Structure 1
Amino acid sequence: MEFFIDTASIDDIKIATEQGLIDGVTTNPTLLSREGGDWRVRAREILDVVKGPVSLEVVAEDAAGMISQAHDLKKMGDNVVVKIPMTPEGLKAVKTLSGEGIHTNVTLVFSPLQALLAAKAGGTYVSPFIGRLDAIGDSGMNLVEEIRTIFDNYGYTTKILVASVRHPMHVLEAALVGADVATVPFAVLQQFVHHPLTDKGLESFLADWHKLTGGKW
């Protein structure tokens, strides 16, 4: 399973990259707005740090506008993946862009049929928003499982990119049902590393080492 970090924070991206935890980055207008400043400068900074896929989102609502903005975004780097919303106009844009060899991430997916349409249009990634479904009493993980079954049934190569992740169990469950990628906030990503028994075991080992050597190597 690949891990992307869902952020526009350069500091968080650098830390996660140094830890060897991430394969790519996803952003959106909300994340970019939180960081402030010129979003184009921020996007280029991210692309300078990250060698893997970086999702940057269009904001046009019509297919022609989305395609134009996609071409503009793609000029920033070869690893740009263009985020396109799951709308009728978005599907038109995805179809055109995929025909041009431009990678796309179909975002704001909340049903298996939406995911199927995204795959048929040629989307590189499809992003089911599991946390938002859980928040309204639906099951985000059931959605991921249904998408996996449909894609496997028909041989679609579109990658399932689990988004709107709220906690580590979302990622564990997504991995168990066969999602290709999880895009994870920095704080949640850091939770993967820690376990109380790991901390307790390390404390014990270091205490015994100090008894043995006085803490010297």
Structure 2
Amino acid sequence: MKIFLDTANIEDIREGMKLGLVDGVTTNPTLVSREGVKFEDRVVEICETVKGPVSAEVTSTDYENMVLQARELASLNEHVVVKIPMTRDGMRAVKTLYGEGIKTNVTLIFNSLQATLAAKAGATYVSPFVGRLDDIASNGMEIVEEIVRIFANYGYSTEIIVASVRHPMHVLEAALMGADIVTIPYEVLLKLFNHPLTDIGIERFMDDWKRYQKQQGK
């Protein structure tokens, strides 16, 4: 399973890259607005840092302008993947962009039928938003499981990005279901390392080592 960071913070991305575990990034104008930089400049900076898929979102909602904006975003860097919303105009845009060789990530997916339509339109990725479904008392991960089964049934090459991830259990469930990718905030990535028994084990090892050194007169 690949791990993307869901952020526009370049320092978090650099730290994630140092771990050797980050395969790509998803971002959007909202995340970039918190950084106080120009959207296009930050997208290019992220692409140059990650050198992997970087999803950048259109802000238009009609077909013609989505396609125009997608072309502009794709021209920024070879690693740009254009995020397109799950709408009728969005799927028209995905079909057109697929024909032009522009990679797309269909976002704001909340059921498996939406994901299926996106795959049929030629989306490179689909992003079910599991956390937002959990927020309204639905089980977001059940949608992911359905999408995995449907894509396997029909041999779709579209990859599944589990998005709106809130905690490590979402990541674990995504891995168990066979999702291709999770996109997570940097703080969730750090939580994946943690287990109290690991901390206890390291502490005991260091205590034993100190005792051994003392016994050896070091």
CA shift for structure 1 position 208: 1.4
Distance 1:48 1:12 in 2: 14
CA shift for structure 1 position 211: 2.0
- 2:115 partner amino acid: A
Distance 1:157 1:146 in 2: 16
1:87 is matched with 87
SS at match of 2:5: strand
1:201 is matched with 201
My pick for the range that moved more, 64-73 or 119-128, is 64-73
- How does the TM-score come out when normalised to structure 1? 0.97
2:30 is matched with 30
Distance 2:120 2:42 in 1: 33
SS at match of 1:83: strand
1:21-100 paired onto structure 2 within 5 Å: 21-100=21-100
1:170 is matched with 170
Distance 1:150 1:85 in 2: 20
- 1:196 partner amino acid: P
CA shift for structure 1 position 213: 2.6
- 1:167 partner amino acid: H
SS at match of 1:131: helix
My pick for the range that moved more, 111-120 or 202-211, is 202-211
Distance 1:101 1:209 in 2: 58
- CA-based RMSD of the aligned residues comes to 1.5
Distance 1:61 1:171 in 2: 31
1:106 is matched with 106
My pick for the range that moved more, 40-49 or 7-16, is 40-49
2:116 is matched with 116
Distance 2:37 2:7 in 1: 15
1:191 is matched with 191
CA shift for structure 1 position 171: 0.7
CA shift for structure 1 position 37: 2.1
Q: For structure 1, list consecutive stretches of 5 or more residues without a partner in the other structure.
A: none
1:137 is matched with 137
- 1:19 partner amino acid: L
- 1:41 partner amino acid: D
Q: For structure 2, list consecutive stretches of 5 or more residues without a partner in the other structure.
A: none
1:156 is matched with 156
Per-residue CA deviations over 1:148-169 (Å, capped at 9, x if unaligned) read 1111111111101000000000
Distance 1:29 1:115 in 2: 23
Distance 2:110 2:176 in 1: 20
Give the percent of matched residue pairs that are identical in Structure 1 and Structure 2: 60
Is 2:211 the partner of 1:211?
Answer: yes
- How does the TM-score come out when normalised to structure 2? 0.96
My pick for the range that moved more, 36-45 or 106-115, is 36-45
CA shift for structure 1 position 30: 1.4
My pick for the range that moved more, 129-138 or 31-40, is 31-40
Distance 2:115 2:38 in 1: 33
Report the number of matched residues: 217
SS at match of 1:35: coil
SS at match of 2:34: helix
